[in-house]
Amino acid sequence: MPQKLTVLIIEDERNICDFISTSLTSQDYRVLTAYTGKAGLSLIASQGPDIVLLDLGLPDLDGLELIRQVRSWSAVPILVISARTGERDKVAALDLGADDYVTKPFGSSELMARIRTAIRHSHRLNGADGVQQPFCYDGLTIDFDRRQVTLHGEPIHLTQIEYKIVVYLAENSGRVVTYDAIISHVWGPYASTDNNRILRVNMANIRRKLEENPAEPRYILTEIGVGYRMREG
Ligand code: CA
């Protein structure tokens, strides 16, 4: 029998904890729960979960501080459960090394999809084969080895910068990527604040080339105030 994947939920609201726990158990995950940040940290260290679901508003420890501490020694995927409406906490959590977030209230199918994506992505990063499979989603194909993008078999001509953005989003497909992360990946860590505008211009051009209706994108979604998310390939 295959080993069950272990999910640690760090969340002080017990009804949310129970809801998540029930959904996960029915999907054959092994579930651990912690109602405080300190209990969560010690379970991460002692149990080595495959993924951590983390509420940012904990009674004893700020969730952002917990991410900072965990990331100093562990690459375990962290999925933030965010009740907060402000985008700033989400961005801060992602920039500290969280993998993604779900905003309360969320449905269990959305949560399951996010969990699968985060775990798959961490396995891919740890994979040793070094071969990058082409990204494919609904007619869009990105062949990383040939550096070629095609849409329903037709080659799409992207500028060097546009290509870099698309590839970075595809490598992270299914996950949100913050504006800052894209900018520092494409233009380097010393990029100017004007790059926000340049990124938006590039994204508009990318969507014109890829999307049938750029106002309702199919491939690259906007997470307002946070960043972009490419559909999972
Ligand atoms: Ca809370």
Residues 59 and 112 in one domain: yes
Distance 56 CA to ligand 1 centre (A): 7
Q: Is residue 118 part of a domain?
A: yes
Q: Is residue 46 part of a domain?
A: yes
Distance 106 CA to ligand 1 centre (A): 15
- Which regions of the chain are under pLDDT 50? 128
Strands (E) located in the chain: 6-10, 30-34, 51-55, 78-82, 100-103, 135-137, 140-143, 148-151, 154-155, 176-178, 220-223, 227-230
The closest of 74, 186, 167 to 122, measured between CA atoms, is 74
What protein residues have CB closer than 5 angstroms to ion ligand 1? 12, 55, 57
Which amino acid belongs to residue 108? S
Distance 232 CA to ligand 1 centre (A): 29
Q: Is residue 225 part of a domain?
A: yes
Q: Which residues contact 78 (CB under 8 A, 6 or more apart)?
A: 51, 52, 54, 67, 70, 93, 97, 98, 99
Query: Which of 125, 152, 181 is the last residue before a domain boundary?
Result: 125
Query: 157: domain range?
Result: 135-230
CATH, residue 198? 1.10.10.10
Residue 110 is predicted with a pLDDT of 92
Q: In total, how many domains does the chain have?
A: 2
Residues 167 and 119 in one domain: no
Residues 96 and 155 in one domain: no
Residues 178 and 100 in one domain: no
Q: Is residue 130 part of a domain?
A: no
